[in-house]
Amino acid sequence: MTGGSAGHGPAVAAHVGERAITVAEVDTREAALRAGPLAALLPRPWSAEGRNLRRWLVQMLVAEALIEGEAALRGLTAPTVGPAGRLTLPAALRTGGVAAAVLAATPLAGVVRQAVTMEVRVPEEEIRAYYDRNGDLFPGEPYERARGPIAEELTEVAADRVFALWLERRHADLVRLRPGFEHPADPGHADATHRH
């Protein structure tokens, strides 16, 4: 899985618009993981699982490039202090692995998420319906007091969905993966064992 490029120059794993994600970038990211505290948990290099790890790293590099490109278009910058988001199982299940991982790993992703989801609003009927369906969560609590936290939670969930769909659309519009660097779940490569 060495990728390649037409003509001369560095081997390329993917293109995000005009930006090339090089195999060297994938190698660097993989080396950092293999030198990190979770190295013992990683699959052996060049095994099927190891090749799928590299495919996953390409997905992350591509998502980061999409975020950087959108931030540049909108004139957004990453916060100068503070960590990226926290990766939780509910967030990963809501947004999907790549979107959740990029939000957790890249502070700029949170800034872009906020920009692309600023118009997200949850209708009052949905907030009330949630309260009515989940009375066991609010025993004796009047709707007026429960409404704020419910609206906040439902808005976060809706924003996660909007961000994940935005990232998927940008990926479809701008990303071209080279052979050998397909999504790990793509059934078109020999190492595909994961299915969606």
* Closest by CA position to 103, among listed 66, 136, 129: 66
Q: Is the pLDDT of residue 171 over 90?
A: yes
Long-range contacts of 96-101 (CB under 8 A, 24+ apart): 96/164, 98/59, 98/60, 98/63, 98/167, 99/63, 99/160, 99/163, 99/164, 99/167, 101/60, 101/63
Per-residue pLDDT band at 4 (split at 50, 70, 90):
low
d(CA 112, CA 15): 20
pLDDT of residue 6: 53
Q: Is the pLDDT of residue 195 over 60?
A: no
pLDDT of residue 96: 78
For the stretch 55-68, pLDDT in tens is 999 999 999 999 99
Higher pLDDT, 186 or 44: 44
Q: Is the pLDDT of residue 85 over 70?
A: no
pLDDT of residue 80: 79
20-24, 47-51, 170-174: which has the minimum mean pLDDT?
A: 47-51
With a pLDDT cut of 70, the percent of the chain lying above it is 91
Please check whether residue 32 is in contact with residue 26, taking contact to mean a CB–CB distance below 8 angstroms. no
Q: Is the pLDDT of residue 82 over 70?
A: no
CA angle 32, 102, 114 (to 5 degrees): 145
Please check whether residue 170 is in contact with residue 178, taking contact to mean a CB–CB distance below 8 angstroms. no
pLDDT of residue 161: 93
For the stretch 108-117, pLDDT in tens is 999 999 999 9
Per-residue pLDDT band at 130 (split at 50, 70, 90):
very high
Q: Which residues, 6+ apart, have CB-to-CB distance to 192 below 8 Å?
A: 184, 185, 186
* Domains defined along the chain, listed by start: 12-177 (1.10.4030.10)
Q: Is the pLDDT of residue 81 over 90?
A: no
The token pair at 8 is: 């001369």
For the stretch 12-40, pLDDT in tens is 999 999 999 999 999 999 999 999 999 99
Roughly how many angstroms between the first and final C-alpha of the chain, as a whole number?
A: 23
Mean pLDDT of the chain, nearest integer:
90
